[in-house]
Structure 1
Amino acid sequence: MVQRKLPVTLVGAGLPQIAELAGDAKSYAERLFKFPSIGNLGDEDAKAALTKPASEEDVRFDEEALTEALRVTGGYPYFLQELGYAVWTVAEGPRISQDDVVTAVPGYEAKLDESFFRVRLDRATEMQRAYLRAMAQLGPQAQKASDVADVMGRTSQNLGPTRAELINMGLLYTPEHGYAAFTVPHFDTFMIRAIPVLDVPPLRPRKPRD
């Protein structure tokens, strides 16, 4: 299509490692596309995502409620959708307050934990879960492999295969050499809720490949 300049447009979306995956699927494929980063909504757009649908039902959000909603969701579109739903189920009047948002948070987190986050964690092995939990302990930003290894009492060499497996599974990606980050936001706080205490399994020799 590129060589013949055919009038065809392909639009797709994916997690942060999509450019790397395109190159893995077909050599030089990553050169054929543009990969703009689509991050979280800005404050005004995030507020509009909540206030516009509510206004159609003659319901309004207090400014403090919107501020709390943005703090909880970080402006991530899907999280705003789930929080808006959770708030709608607990608010009683035509005015949604900050207290309504705070009250809705446990239900909001439970919904995300059961679906959005849990389906990712359920695919991980015991060691992979420990690696994710150790990363979460360090915070939401990209983490050095050596720092994660230190938290787990291992070496980067020991954990190299586990880290590579998590990247191949789409749970982590590498924004720069030597670092890894979660592919979805707030996965760190979910890991701490799901696994309150880090438990690193003992070292076991890996089975040789056939």
Structure 2
Amino acid sequence: MDSVSNPYTPNAGAAPEVMVGRDEQLEAFRVLLQRLERHRTEQSMIITGLRGVGKTVLLGRFGELARAAHWEVVEFEASRHDETRFRQLMFSQLKSTLLRLSPRARWTACGRRAAEVLSAFALPVVKHGAFGLSWDVTPAEGAGDHGDLGMDLTDVLLAFGEAADEQGHGIVLLVDEVQFLARTQLEALIQAVHKTVQRKLPVAFVGAGLPQTVELAGDVKAYAERLFSFSHLGALGGDDARRALAEPARLEGVEFDEDALDLALELTHGYPCFLQELGAQVWSVAEAPQVRRADVALAREAYEAKLDGAFFRVRLDRATPLQTAYLRAMAELGPEPQKAGDVARVMHRESTQVGPTRAELIDLGLLYTPEHGYAAFTAPDFDAFMKRAMPELVVPEVQRRPRKAD
């Protein structure tokens, strides 16, 4: 079929033509905004899930809903920034937000106060020689200038919440890849959001991250479990998975046979990004107006090759040979969460020898710990990919330090 009319969107973070299976999260977000607009408290949200389940897409949809409701949106993808870079990022985003709330010429005392607190927040960055942070606003004294990230960010969000409320608006922070925030940064965000809740200000936070994000939030602030509602995204159920594949095609006048959908669900296990990739590949081999099981079977090789190159390989390429061997040893044991000791035995090593490697893979976001002593892949079907990419397990030799001469 015509590639121009291909209705599937396998690109990372790209919104599908038809979003299904996320109605509960969308409704919870609408309720969050509406309650805050009425100065009633409501839990902010943290969305978790494996790679490819649509967390980024959902955040994008939240942003659309917030803008339609005339909220200001602050959105960014977390990375392993130090505090200086984090302050710089927050300054840049919030400066733009304040200017959208009201042009400088129309600032009220509340708006100017927010600007002054933000200038104070940026002072540590200016002292480190960063450029682009000056905007001719005198820093506040005694607010945003404590030198403690949590206290400073709290002052900023309180000032911005008051400025937004005065203008009849709200502010929502949408943060992707939350698990990559430094502990102090995550703690500061939670602390600041908590204070805006106590003041009943229209400030909402939605974070998205890998499954370990729930544990990370609870570790930094015990009250995080009450401050946020946690929603875990998984694979789409049978009916929703069928709709995700069939409805975009139907918009182009193409129908899937039932047995074609059966095979598609068998191959993708209902994971949204896999459905989009398979749909895109099937579109290239099928003939309108009907997609048959044979078309899905024919597209399978191209589908797996595209996933291997664009979804799995980019993650594996960050791993060292020893880290790669650890992932391959896990794959040998199957897709389920695996005990550290069992993986070590497959590698013919002691647990203490490979423990640092396991920790590094968790830090890279390739593994997570669903429970104590176990680790699991953060991408579905990663075990099958590892077996295709590395048919035989090869464990690098232990590097021994040379003995010092007497």
> Structure 2 length normalisation: TM-score?
0.49
Larger strand proportion of the pair? 2
Which residue does 1:64 correspond to in 2? Answer: 259
Distance in 1 (CA, whole Å) between partners of 2:295 and 2:361 is 37
Give the CA deviation at 1:28: 4.3
Give the CA deviation at 1:168: 0.7
Q: Greater CA deviation, 2-11 or 109-118?
A: 2-11
Give the CA deviation at 1:18: 1.9
Residue 83 (str. 1) matches residue 278 (str. 2): yes
Residue 119 (str. 1) matches residue 318 (str. 2): no
Q: Greater CA deviation, 42-51 or 31-40?
A: 31-40
> Structure 1 length normalisation: TM-score?
0.92
Output aligned runs, 1:122-133, within 5 Å.
Answer: 122-133=317-328
Which residue does 2:247 correspond to in 1? Answer: 52
- Consecutive unaligned residues of structure 1, counting only runs of 5 or more, are none
Distance in 2 (CA, whole Å) between partners of 1:19 and 1:75 is 24
Higher relative contact order (CA 8 A, sep 6+): 2
Closer/same/farther in 2, CA of residues 41 and 139 from structure 1, 3 Å limit: same
Residue by residue over 1:130-185, the C-alpha shift from the partner in whole angstroms, topping out at 9 and shown as x without a partner, is 00001011111100111111111111111100000001111000000110000110
Give the CA deviation at 1:93: 3.4
Give the CA deviation at 1:60: 0.9
Q: Give the paired residue count.
A: 206
Output aligned runs, 1:136-175, within 5 Å.
Answer: 136-175=331-370
Instruction: Report percent identity of matched pairs.
Output: 63
Amino acid of the structure 2 residue aligned with 1:35: F
Amino acid of the structure 1 residue aligned with 2:262: T
Amino acid of the structure 2 residue aligned with 1:144: K
Output aligned runs, 1:11-26, within 5 Å.
Answer: 11-22=206-217, 26=220
Which residue does 2:204 correspond to in 1? Answer: 9
Q: 1:34 aligned to 229, 254, 258, which one? A: 229
Closer/same/farther in 2, CA of residues 2 and 28 from structure 1, 3 Å limit: farther
Distance in 1 (CA, whole Å) between partners of 2:249 and 2:359 is 44
Give the CA deviation at 1:29: 7.3
Give the CA deviation at 1:63: 0.8
Distance in 2 (CA, whole Å) between partners of 1:67 and 1:163 is 37
Find the residue that maps to 1:82 and give its secondary structure. helix
Closer/same/farther in 2, CA of residues 162 and 30 from structure 1, 3 Å limit: farther
Which residue does 2:395 correspond to in 1? Answer: 200
Distance in 2 (CA, whole Å) between partners of 1:203 and 1:103 is 44
**Structure with larger Rg:** 2
Distance in 1 (CA, whole Å) between partners of 2:399 and 2:281 is 44
- Consecutive unaligned residues of structure 2, counting only runs of 5 or more, are 1-195, 402-406
Amino acid of the structure 1 residue aligned with 2:299: A
Distance in 2 (CA, whole Å) between partners of 1:143 and 1:79 is 24
Task: Give the alignment's Cα RMSD to 1 decimal.
Answer: 1.8
